[in-house]
Structures are given as C-alpha cells and as structure tokens.
Homo-oligomer: A and B are copies of this chain.
Amino acid sequence: MDKQMNEKTTAGLEHLRDLIDGVDQQLLHLLRKRLDLVAQVGAVKHAAGVPIYAPQREASMLAKRRDEAQKMNVSPQLIEDILRRLMRESYLNEKDVGFKQIKQDLGHVVVVGGQGKLGQLFSQMLVLSGYEVKSIDKNDWQDAAAIFDGAGLVIVTVPINVTCEVIRDKLTQLPENCILADLTSIKEAPLTAMLAAHKGPVVGLHPMFGPDVGSLAKQVVVVCHGRHQEAYQWLLQQIEIWGARIVEAEAERHDKAMQLVQAMRHFSTFVYGVNLCKEEADIGNLLQFSSPIYRLELAMVGRLFAQDPELYADIIFAQPGSQHAISDYLDNYRDALTMLQTGNRQAFVEQFQRVAKWFGDFAPQFQHESRAMLQSVNDMKAG
C-alpha cells in the first residue's frame, strides 16, 4: 500500500465514519422514543391490569416487521433480534411504573426468608404492586406472632434443607384464611408439610429462574396446587401481571424432572470444574483455543462456582432421588468409556443414531436455537 493510497483510504474512511456517527445519533433518538412509547403502553396496561407480556401481540408485531424488513432488503432476523432486545429493555423499565394490584383487601404479606435473594426479588415485585410486605428471618422468630398477625399471604423461601422443618415448627398458627406458599425448587415435600401445618389455602410455587433476572417477563413459574385454589387464584394472576408464564404441574412429576434438570446437571458441572482444577488446566489458554460453543460451556461452569456453595449443596443433597439420576449417569458414562477403550467406533455411531432418532424433531430445532445462541456469544467478543 503506497502512502497516497493510504491517505486517500484514511480520508474516505473518516468521511464514512462521520456519516455512520450521524446515523447512530438518529438511532439513539429513535430508541429513546420507542422506549418512551412502550412505557406509555405499559402505563395504560398497568391501569387496566393487563399483563405486560402478550405473546400473541408480540408474535404478530414481529411477523409484520419481518415482512416490512424483507421489502426493504433488510434481513428479517436482524429486525427481529433488535426488537426482541428492545422489548427486554422495555420489560426492565416496567418496574419503574409499578404493577397493577390484583388483590386489594389482602392484608399484608410475610416473606419467610425475605433477606435471601429470591425473597428480596419477590418482596420487591409485591411492593411494586402495592402490597405491604413484612419479612421474617432466622433471628426474628421471637416477633413471629406480631408479624403473622393479620397476614393474607405467607411465602416461604428459606434454604431447601430447612424448608420442611421451618414449615412444621413455625407456621402452624397462621390466620385461618391466610394463603401459605413456598418458592422451593422441589415441590412434593414442602407441599405436604404446608398442607399438614396449615388448614387454609396452600400453594407450591417454583420460579424457574435465578434471582439475577432483571424482569420476570417470559420467565416460568411452576405451580403445584395444594388446597383452596379459588383463594389464591389472584396470586397466579398477579404473577402473570409481572410477565411470567404459569405452568401447572403435579408435584411428584415436577420433582422427577428436577432430578434430571437440576441436580444431575449441576452435579456434572460441579465435577467438570473439579476436573479442570485437578488437571491444573490453564483457563486463559483454554479460552484462547475456544470456539464459541466451548466458551459458552466454560462460562456455564464458571458461573456455578461464582455462586454460593450452600445453594448448590442444598439442591444436590435435597432429594434422595437425585442420587439415582446421578448414579445412572455414571453407569452410562462408564459403559460409553468401555466402548471407547475397546475402540468400538461402530457401537458409538449406532448409539448416537439411536439417540438422534429418539430426539426426533427436537434435534434440528435445538440445532437452530443453539446456532442463534452461539452467534450472539460471538457478537459479545471483544478484541
């Protein structure tokens, strides 16, 4: 590249970059305007008590935009991705407006374990919806009678290994019409304990998200019905107002799924971290060699170890059934290793095909989904 070319190139690039700067300024203004308009939609919905997340409306809006994009030779996926990101921002901002209060004459709410992260999140959402919230933690039991007096809803969110004990020992004297609910990640045992301790309405909830979500929009809350559903129906409605989706489940079936979904996966991730540590792997080096897919996997492992060990110990040690799931995985791992050690490549391929067949249409669907995820991981890369 000679010098003149270089100068000409530089000048050309500078000019174009100035134009891009201008476009980006306009873009920022448009984003601000759109966020404001959606906030106004939120305020209208808030007044009317309509849930902030409307899946069908969202889907039809996106379909329309994709069409318009196509006509303008803009990739439909681009506008969809940008709008989805914008919607996330709008959901986050909903918190500034507050939420419609569904049950006006409830009395106050008591969050048992309100200093925990999930307890704080639910307390915040309830306060934003106009409820009076009191908290009781392990050092406050001497004031229990006063705190529970007049409560319309008690939500238990204490560590999983003491949940049943707290319910059995401390929650037998609630007001008769008070709703007793819990947020534990297993459901059968706490539900049984709540039904035994309290004669009034009982419901088991399992929020399928961590306390670090910025908004409940599109998140799932599993509901296991206990007693007097009509008395707590408003609570499910209230949760939907916050944007979450309610999924009803039978407690035993939920717990069985959780053994696979939570205990076993967390356990495997834990062992993977232990393994890296024992091998004295050089994480910086591994990252250098990492494809987006591995970077994502490594991030999920690191994520676990950035959190509270007690939390994971609770989850993994809570259900005796988890040991079976974990030990089944070990057996399958051992069998597969034997296949590898004996060089039985053909057996590997055949088993692979069997599993692929079993996955059926989910396999290509997951491939499609994971591709989008990996692209977005790659987008995040800095130099």
Contact = CB atoms under 8 A, between A and B. Distances in A.
Q: Which of A33, A82, A258 has the most CB of B within 10 A?
A: A82
Nearest to A364: B306
A360 B56 CA distance: 44
Copies in the complex: 2
A122 interface: no
A32 interface: yes
Contact of A271 (B213, B312, B336): B336
Given A294-B265, A337-B327, A379-B84, A313 B277 contact: no
Nearest to A372: B380
Interface residues of A, number: 164
A217 to B, nearest CB: 8
B270 A336 contact: yes
Nearest to A258: B289
A279 B305 contact: no
A146 interface: no
A40 B14 CA distance: 12
Interface string A165-191: 000000000000000000000000000
Given A81-B85, A247-B288, A383-B58, A278 B328 contact: yes
Contacts of A222: 289
A128 interface: no
Contacts of A104: none
A372 B328 CA distance: 33
Contacts of A162: none
Contacts of A58: 382-383
A139 to B, nearest CB: 22
A55 B382 contact: yes
A153 to B, nearest CB: 23
A145 interface: no
Which secondary structure dominates where chain A touches chain B? Answer: helix
A209 interface: yes
The 9 closest A-B pairs by CB, nearest first: A55-B383, A302-B366, A309-B352, A306-B367, A306-B363, A305-B356, A303-B370, A84-B379, A208-B291
Nearest to A81: B85
Contact of A377 (B208, B212, B253, B373): B373
Given A27-B30, A33-B23, A274-B355, A337 B332 contact: no
A235 B302 CA distance: 36
Contacts of A343: 317
Contact of A305 (B1, B69, B212, B355): B355
Q: Which of A219, A299, A345 has the most CB of B within 10 A?
A: A299
6 contacts: A17-B41, A25-B68, A275-B328, A302-B363, A306-B356, A323-B337
A3 interface: no
A257 to B, nearest CB: 5
B367 A303 contact: yes
A290 interface: yes
A37 B20 contact: yes
Nearest to A68: B28
Given A47-B9, A296-B373, A303-B366, A277 B379 contact: no
